[in-house]
Amino acid sequence: MSRSEPHRVVILGGGFAGVYTALELERALRREPDLEVILVNSENFFLFTPMLHEVAASDLDFTHIVNPIRKLLRKVRFFNGDVEGIDFASRTVRVSHGATHHHHAIPYDQLVLALGSVTNFYGLPGLEERSMTMRTLGDAIHLRNQLIANLEEADFECCAGVREPLLTMVVAGGGFAGVETIAGVNDFLREAVKQYGNLREEDLRVVLVHSGPAILPELGPGLGAYAERKLRERGVEIRTETRVAGVDADAVLLSDGTRVRARTVVWTAGTSPHPLIATLPCGKDRGRIRVNEHCEVLEWPGVWALGDCASIPAPGEGQTHPPTAQHAIREATVVARNILATRRGRPKQAFRFRGLGQLAAIGRRTGVARIAGFQFSGFVAWWLWRTIYLSKLPRLEKKLRVMLDWTLDLVFSKDLVQFMTLRAKFVSSREGEAADPALTSGLGG
């Protein structure tokens, strides 16, 4: 007698929402041999994004905030590739992988949409071509490389007009990502510039541009004002109620008409749901998939959505849950349990969660935090930031590596080296041609 096909759950996306759904289902795989779970993601690791700015600021080794998915998930099958399309009617996901984009069709019994969000440049002139973002590991490494390259070039640049944009950095967006990025990078630059004999700290210009009246609006006016004051004391120039209007080869154009000559521009001021979401035949709320309180897509039973790409109703007229990591982790638990409840014919669980609080690191062992209704600032908030996020970082190995990085950072200065991925120089001589002795002298053989 042939075995029946397993009940297949396909999860699209390897961020907090997707990975934590897979982790919850992995526990069920131990006792349900007829259940199969497949996770699809374009990268083979899970990135702990709350610590991303510390990689850009050279506080952490970039390998220490990533976890290989195959180590996190022992029983869940992993497909390293891109999602090309979804057919709800035939219950099939089209994917591709490899250098040649080899295509596959993956059928599913239940589908989890955790595709997250992407950067939105809002069509501003030059922004997409000339700015950087802070969403991926590559973004953080690229920003760090550029900052070091700018310092190296400026150190031997005699023309002040050329040196000025090299030593100027603009960050657009006064939310958590923008503030933590500029705080960490500002500290990094002011420490690094001491290693360059021709540069002074006064040559640096670090600018934060925010469209609202105060930075970190999620934490309230008091903590926002504290963060702004501390950043200003450390040399950060903050322009509130101002927007980036465009970027050209020489400068950043602001909405008040100001031109800031800067070589480095970081955009953290806009996101949109993954572009694939717009192609799906289901209800949307400001571009995100509209789901019910069980995180199930209304028009398609057996399809679930969570995280940044989902609009999940919250208590209160017209309210939805915010797209934060702490919500995504708890949404993942509910979705996984509802998947199991559906196939067992049991009642589904509604998602109900009120955020525990929010924290931001603002440099030099200083932070701001609102936790369970209480406000913290200064060293205590910074200590809470590190303690809480360290506890959330998956796997003991990574926790220990991050702790070691933080400890060594108290003693040693940062290494100003670029992590480049260029091929080494080489020559290609015809067979029988003699090589230049100057190139081969000293080589063993």
Is residue 357 pLDDT above 70, yes or no? yes
Contact 56, 134 (CB under 8 A): yes
pTM of the model: 0.92
Mean pLDDT, rounded, for 347-364: 94
Q: Report the distance separating Cα 31 and Cα 24, nearest Å.
A: 13
Rg (CA), the chain: 25
What is the pLDDT averaged over residues 106-131? Answer: 97
> CA of 222: how far to CAs of 174, 370, 380, in Å?
15, 11, 16
Burial of 402 (0-12, 13-18, 19+ CB in 10 A): buried
Two domains, one topology: 7-42+81-119+272-344 and 127-269: yes
Residue 374, classified by CB atoms within 10 Å of its CB into exposed (0-12), middle (13-18) or buried (19+), is exposed
pLDDT tier, 433 (very low <50, low <70, confident <90, very high otherwise): low
CATH number of 127-269: 3.50.50.60
Residue 437: its pLDDT value, please? Answer: 58
- Residue 444, pLDDT > 80, answer no
Residue in the block written with tokens 């969660």: 353
Point out the least confidently predicted range of 263-267, 299-303, 441-445.
441-445
Give per-residue pLDDT as tens, 156-168.
977 778 899 999 9
Fold of domain 7-42+81-119+272-344:
FAD/NAD(P)-binding domain (3.50.50)
Give the span between the Cα atoms of 393 and 114, in whole angstroms.
Answer: 20
303-305 sheet: strands from edge to edge? 77-80, 35-41, 7-12, 110-113, 303-305
Is it the case that residue 247 has pLDDT exceeding 50? yes
Could you count the other beta carbons within 10 Å of the beta carbon of residue 394?
16
pLDDT at position 445 is 46
Grouping H, G, I as helix, E, B as strand and the rest as coil, residue 78 is strand
**Length of the chain, please?**
445
Show contacts of 142-145: CB within 8 Å, 24+ apart: 143/56, 143/181, 143/185, 143/264, 143/266, 144/55, 144/56, 144/57, 144/58, 144/188, 144/418, 144/419, 145/418, 145/419, 145/420
Structure tokens at 125: 């002139």
- Nearest residue to 149 via CA among 98, 178, 189: 189
User: 45-65: per-residue pLDDT in tens?
Assistant: 999 999 999 999 999 999 999
Q: Where are the domains of the chain?
A: 7-42+81-119+272-344, 127-269
